[in-house]
Amino acid sequence: MERNERYLEVAVKAAREAGRIQKLYFGSSLQIEFKGEINPVTEVDRLCDRAISEILLQTFPDHDLLTEESPFEKKGSPYRWIVDPMDGTTNYLHGYPCFCVSIALEFEKEVILGVVYNPILDELFISEKGKGAYLNGKKISVSQEKNLFRSFLSTGFPYDVHDHGDFYLRYFREFLIRSFAIRRPGSAALDLCYLAAGRFDGFWELKLQPWDVAAGALMVMEAGGKITDFRGQPFHIYSKEVLASNGWIHSQMLETIKEAEKNL
């Protein structure tokens, strides 16, 4: 088996196991802690984190592992797994069925594969650099919508939204009046996968973490989409601005960002 196939096989195994745990406890009464005022973590997050970490490190003990719920211990490997054991925790603890597992592999600072699994819908998104993006084994591609006014967009708000609500609402307002509709599902990883699958036409958000976007960003690019920062500069997973689209409406989205930032 080729090395990349092995990486993908193990990533899928880890994602499915975490998804199994999420589905098992979904709808149960959970212990909740808060990492910030509106940033919850549950016992299920930690169970998923432990399961994924064990599967990845048992197979690849020399690899670095960056996850949302565990301290990062750098080993110096050129390979780094980037994991969100449950993206959409707030949705999960309220019984709202929009959450997922996100696992990406970075090699020498470039993401080479991504796996996002939605256990409720049993939807497995997979992407490998240069090999396209797939949903349950079927190749996916971004939409062909060319007009922002007819576009279906998604977004999210950072955890400091209570302190900077007016700032974030500037962007929301401009996109609201220039697009067909906007949704705020609460899982950036799924938003990006849905964009890759043509369900959304564009996405923007601020202050995301690498585990939120690593797998989904590769999914968008491999499905034929475009992803940059808010200036139109090349995107990287450690930046704090994400503007993603089907490519056709990207310049219109950048213009909307510019309009929102007037008089800031």
pLDDT of residue 264: 67
| Mean pLDDT for the stretch of residues 228-253 | 96
Q: What are the structural domains, with CATH classification, of the chain?
A: 3-139 (3.30.540.10), 148-260 (3.40.190.80)
Of 44-48, 113-117, 252-256, minimum mean pLDDT range: 44-48
> Which residues, including other chains, have CB under 8 Å from residue 160's CB and lie 6 or more apart?
207
pLDDT of residue 1: 41
Write down the pTM of the prediction: 0.94
| Mean pLDDT for the stretch of residues 41-69 | 91
Contact between 142 and 198 (Cβ < 8 Å): yes
DSSP string, 171-182: HHHHHHHHSSEE
Confidence band for 32, pLDDT divided at 50, 70 and 90: low
Contact between 264 and 236 (Cβ < 8 Å): no
Distances in Å between the alpha carbon of 3 and those of 9, 10, 60, 64? 10, 11, 11, 17
Instruction: At 169, list the tokens.
Output: 């609402």
Over 80: is that where the pLDDT of 19 sits? yes
Contact between 114 and 127 (Cβ < 8 Å): yes
pLDDT tens, position by position, 253-262? 999 999 999 8
Of 14-23, 31-40, 88-97, 210-219, minimum mean pLDDT range: 31-40
Confidence band for 162, pLDDT divided at 50, 70 and 90: confident
